[in-house]
Amino acid sequence: MMNEKWKEVLSLLWERSRFVAYFFQAVQFAENNNLPSLSLIIYTSRLYLFYNKEFVQKIQPIELIGLLVHEMLHIVLNHNHRSYQTKNIKDIYLQNLAQDMIVNSYIDRHRKTFFSKKGRYEVIEISIPKELPRIPENFFNETGTSDPCWEEVYKWLKNKPLQKQFKFNEINEGQNIEGFFFSDEDNNMIPTGVHVFNNEKELIDIDSKCKHIIFFAEKDDECKEERAYQEITGIINKAQKTDNSSWKNLIKSIIDFSSQSNEWFYTYSKFNRRYFSNGIYTAGRAFKEKQFITVAIDVSGSMVMNPDEIEVAFGVIEDMTRKYKIHLVCLDEELFIPEKIDNTFYRSKNLKKGYIYKKGDWKFIKSGTGGTTFFAPLFNNYMKSHHEMLVVITDGYIYDLNILKKYTPTLWVISGNRTEPFYPPFGQVVSIKALGA
C-alpha cells in the first residue's frame, strides 16, 4: 500500500501539473528503508520510486513535489553517463554533481512558471530543499553562459574549488541498486535522490518508458496547455550541439530517413491510350517514386545568422540536390515564393508555382526589413496538402511559435550564433556552426 504522505503529494501534483502527474502514474512507489532517501530507477523492467519512509515523513509536501520533478528531469535530460561503462572514471562523482546542479538550477529558474498553464492566473511555485547543489554564480560570471549543459559545468568544476564542499557516499543496497548519495562537510545527508548506476539495457528501458508517457500525455488537451509539458517536450527536442563534421552528417541522415514522395511524369516509352485510338501517338503519364524536400528560409530582419552559416547550411542541402528536388520558400512577416530574375530574388505573387532550388542560389537570399517572423502561413496554410520532408533554416526568433500546427516530418536547422535554447513545438532540431566558429 502506498504511503499516505505520497497520496497527499500526488493529489497536490495532479492539481499543479497533469503532465508530471501522468509521469508518476506510470511509476511504482515502493518503501525501501535500506536507501537513505529516494531513487527513481528501472527495476524488473518497470519504473520504480524506492523511498525511505522516515526521509519522506521529514520533507514538506511542496518540496517532495520538487524532488519528484528533479528525478523526472534526470530522465528527460537523458543523463545516461550514470552507467557501469563510466563508473570507473575517476570524476564520475563530479559529473553527477554537475548534473544535479543543472537540474536544481533549472527548477529554481522556472519556479514561478513551471506549473503555469493557459487560463491559470495564480502563481504556483515549485520548490526544492535549499541544501541541494546549484550552479555557482561564478560560473555564469566567468563563462558568460546562461544555459549550460552538464558537461560545461563539469569542465568548469574540475578547475575550480567550490566554496561549499560535497561528499560522496557509496551504497550497494542488495536489490541491484548500486550508486551513491551526497552529504555535506559535516556528514549530513543532502535531502535529494540517490544516484544509481544503470546498465545499458536499463538505460534503453528508461528512454522507452519516457517516450511512452509523453505519447499518452499529448492526447490530453488540458495537459498540452501546461508550461511543464511544453518545457519537457521542448527539452527532449532541444537543439543538439555538435561539431562541424557531425551536424552535417546528422542533417543528411535525418533527411534521408524522413523524405519521400510520389510524383507523376510523362514518358514516350508509355503511350497515351486516350489519343492512341485516334491515331495520335503522344507521351503517356507514368507514376514513379521521386524524392523531394521543401526548404523554408527565414529572411526576416531579426535573422542573426551570418552569411557563412547560411552557406554551410545550404552546403549540406546542395550535396543532396542529385538525390532530391528542393522546393524553396522564404519567410519574414509573410510567406513568399522566390522568383529569380538576373541573379536577384524577387517575391513571386504565385504561391502555387514553386521554385526549384539550384546550386549557388543561397548567395542571392537577402534578409528582409521586417523584425518579426511569422511561421503560421507556412505550417497552418502552405504545408496543408504536403507530405514531404520540411527543413526550416532560422535563428529561432519566431513570433507565433505557439500556434503552429504540427507538421511531420520537420527539421529545424538553428543558427549556432543563437545564445538562448530553442524549444520547438514539434520536429527535430540541429544547431549548425560555421567553419572556424
Distance CA 218, CA 19 (A): 9
Task: Select the highest-mean-pLDDT range: 91-95, 153-157, 231-235.
Answer: 153-157
C-alpha radius of gyration, the chain, whole number: 26
Q: What is the pLDDT of residue 63?
A: 93
pLDDT at 239: 43
- Is residue 281, in this structure, part of any structural domain at all? no
Task: Band the pLDDT of 404: cuts 50, 70, 90.
Answer: very high
Lowest mean pLDDT among 187-196, 272-281, 303-312: 272-281
Is the N-terminal amide bond of 425 cis, ω within 30° of 0? no
CA angle centred on 188, ends 184 and 192, rounded to 5°: 80
- Is 49 in the same domain as 186? yes
Is 228 among the domain residues? yes
Question: Residues 247, 227: one domain?
Answer: no
Residues 202 and 297 in one domain: no
Amino acid at 350: N
Range in 66-70, 85-89, 131-135 with the lowest mean pLDDT: 85-89
Q: Considering 234, 251, 282, which residue would you say is the last residue of a domain? A: 234
Query: Three-state SS string across 352-389, please?
Result: CCCCECCCCHHHHCCCCCCCCCCCHHHHHHHCCCCCCE
- Top pLDDT among 59 and 286 is at 59
Q: Which residues contact 237 (CB under 8 A, 6 or more apart)?
A: 423, 424, 426, 427, 428, 429
Q: Is the pLDDT of residue 4 over 70?
A: yes
Q: What's residue 87's pLDDT?
A: 43
- Report the Cα 318 to chain-centroid distance in Å: 26
Would the pLDDT of 70 be above 90?
yes
Q: Which of 96-100, 311-315, 431-435 has the highest mean pLDDT?
A: 96-100
Q: Is it the case that residue 236 has pLDDT exceeding 70?
A: no
381 part of a folded domain: yes
Using CA atoms, how far apart are residues 148 and 141, in angstroms rounded to an integer? 13
Task: Indicate whether 218 belongs to any domain.
Answer: yes
Residues 229 and 338 in one domain: no
Whether residue 45 has pLDDT greater than 70? yes
Q: Which residues, 6+ apart, have CB-to-CB distance to 94 below 8 Å?
A: 154, 157, 158
Please indicate, yes or no, if residue 268 is contained in any of the structural domains.
no
Query: In angstroms, rounded to a whole number, what is the distance separating the alpha carbons of residues 70 and 346?
Result: 51
In 173-324, DSSP assigns E strands to: 178-183, 195-196, 240-241, 262-271, 283-289, 292-298
Using pLDDT thresholds of 50, 70 and 90, give the confidence band for residue 268. Answer: very low
Domain boundary, last residue among 234, 249, 272: 234
Give residue 65's pLDDT. 95
How far is residue 13 from each of residues 38, 61, 64, 199, measured CA to CA in Å? 18, 10, 10, 30
145 within domain boundaries: yes
pLDDT of residue 44: 75
Whether 41 has a pLDDT exceeding 50, the answer reads: yes
Quick one: 320 and 219 in the same domain? no
User: Cβ(29)–Cβ(161) under 8 Å?
Assistant: no
With residues binned 3-state (H G I as helix, E B as strand, rest as coil), the percentages for the chain, rounded to 5, are 35, 20, 45
pLDDT, one tens digit per residue, over 104-136 is 999 998 899 889 888 787 889 999 999 999 999
Q: Are residues 362 and 415 located together in one domain of the fold?
A: yes
pLDDT at 429: 85
Mean predicted confidence (pLDDT) in 38-48: 83
Q: How far apart are CA 362 and CA 360, in angstroms?
A: 5
Last residue of a domain, one of 214, 234, 254: 234
pLDDT band, residue 53 (cuts 50/70/90): very high
- The mean per-residue pLDDT over the stretch 376-402 comes to 88
What is the per-residue pLDDT for 285? 54
Q: Which residue has the cell 499543479?
A: 16
Q: Are residues 12 and 104 in the same domain?
A: yes
Same domain? For 183 and 247 the reply is no
d(CA 429, CA 423): 9
pLDDT bin (cut points 50, 70, 90) of residue 301 is low
Same domain, 314 and 224: no
pLDDT: is 407 or 319 the higher one? Answer: 407
Q: List the CATH number of the domain containing 368.
A: 3.40.50
Shared domain check, 133 and 109: yes
Q: Give the pLDDT score at 247.
A: 61
Residue 371 or residue 6, greater confidence: 6
Residue 437 has pLDDT above 60, yes or no: no
- Residue 9's pLDDT is 93
Domain count, the chain: 2
pLDDT category, 270, cuts 50, 70, 90? low
| Mean of the per-residue pLDDT values of the chain | 77
Confidence (pLDDT) at 82: 43
Domain containing residue 94: 4-234
Residue 168 lies in a domain: yes
Residue 322 lies in a domain: yes
More confident: 280 or 355: 355
Place 215 in a pLDDT band, splitting at 50, 70 and 90: confident
pTM: 0.55
Q: Comparing 85-94, 222-231, 260-269, which segment has the lowest mean pLDDT?
A: 260-269
> Do 255 and 300 have their domain in common?
yes
pLDDT in tens, 149-208: 787 888 888 887 766 678 888 877 655 677 788 888 788 889 888 887 766 666 666 767
Residues 64, 56: contact at Cβ < 8 Å? yes
Residues 247 and 190 in one domain: no
